[in-house]
Amino acid sequence: MTARAAALLACCTAALVACGPAQTSSLTMPAATIPVTTIPVTTIPVTTIPVTTIPVTTMPVTTLPIATAPVTVPATAAPDGTVLALDVLGGIEQAKEHRGGYDRDLFGYPASFGGGCDTRAMVLQRDSLSPAQIDAAGCTVVAGDWYSVYDGVTYDQPSELEIDHVVALKEAWDSGAWQWNIARLEAFANDIDDVRSLRAVSSHTNRSKSDKDPSNWLPPNADDVCRYVGDWVTIKARWQLSMDTSEYGRIRNVLRGPCAGWRVATWDAAPVPLD
């Protein structure tokens, strides 16, 4: 290579080196500023809803009447199911007798038991010592044998007998039955299930007794007094009837005196409960 060519080549190379960076340099673009649009925030007004106070209505409390609790059979019951009559007496309420309003017809006595049999016929059949003879045309009792406990006499003619309500209907009315419904009144008057309630007795002793309580009348048969008083007490207890003070006092004296230790058989609940 000639000196001239070499010099030319060196000059061109130098020119390329000098021009190289300028050609390869990148241009720096100014950053574009994007305008930010501010969205206005709309404040929604809060509506306050008024709270309505609902008045609370107080319902009146209705007090239901509570029926008198039944007399509890005393815990002194013996293995044979009997209890001291004096203990039974202790569970009976003492109260003044009610006055007024009594009407025998309210008790529906005698009631019909079907087949022509009424309360009288049923008791006469039940209490006859021998099979009672019945009229073939119905249920009328025409003959039998009955022991009248009030006077200790046996009778064979039903015409000589009356059916006694041991606790008379008026006595029951005055002692609490005035508050009963018709069904309970009729059940009491026609109670043939407990032999103590109704008894076939001589007409003259039944009329002598009338509607008296033991403070005014006791059986003329002295041997029957304890049984009679014991029956009276159990009937009053079974039907939740009260006693006035004279009645209660007389019975208590009898049960503490000549009839001390007298025991009575327990009883089933009355067939119609208190309302």
Q: How many Å apart are CA 159 and CA 173, to the nearest integer?
A: 28
Q: Which contacts of 50-57 are long-range, i.e. CB under 8 A and separated by 24 or more positions? A: none
**Residues 6+ away with beta carbon under 8 Å from 266:** 73, 77, 81, 82, 83
Confidence of residue 44 (pLDDT cuts 50, 70, 90): very low
Q: In this structure, is residue 21 part of a structural domain?
A: no
Polymer length of the chain:
275
pLDDT tens digits for range 49-82: 343 433 333 333 333 333 333 444 555 578 888 9
SS (H, E, C) 131-142: CCEECCCCCCEE
Q: In this structure, is residue 140 part of a structural domain?
A: yes
pLDDT of 270: 95
Which has more confidence, 30 or 85?
85
Q: How many Å apart are CA 212 and CA 150, to the nearest integer?
A: 14
Contact (Cβ atoms closer than 8 angstroms) between residue 265 and residue 233: no
Q: In this structure, is residue 239 part of a structural domain?
A: yes
pLDDT of 275: 72
Confidence of residue 118 (pLDDT cuts 50, 70, 90): very high
Q: How many CA atoms lie within 13 A of 138 on its CB side?
A: 12
pLDDT of 76: 59
Contact (Cβ atoms closer than 8 angstroms) between residue 123 and residue 192: yes
Share of the chain above pLDDT 90, in %: 68
Q: In this structure, is residue 12 part of a structural domain?
A: no
Domain interval for residue 208 = 82-265
Collapsing DSSP to helix, strand or coil, 205 comes out as: helix
Which has more confidence, 62 or 21?
21
Q: In this structure, is residue 244 part of a structural domain?
A: yes
Q: In this structure, is residue 240 part of a structural domain?
A: yes
pTM reported for the whole predicted model: 0.73
Q: In this structure, is residue 139 part of a structural domain?
A: yes
The 10 Å Cβ neighbour count of residue 128 is 19
pLDDT of 128: 98
Q: How many CA atoms lie within 13 A of 65 on its CB side?
A: 5
Number of domains in the chain: 1
Which has more confidence, 117 or 46?
117
Q: In this structure, is residue 103 part of a structural domain?
A: yes
The 10 Å Cβ neighbour count of residue 27 is 4
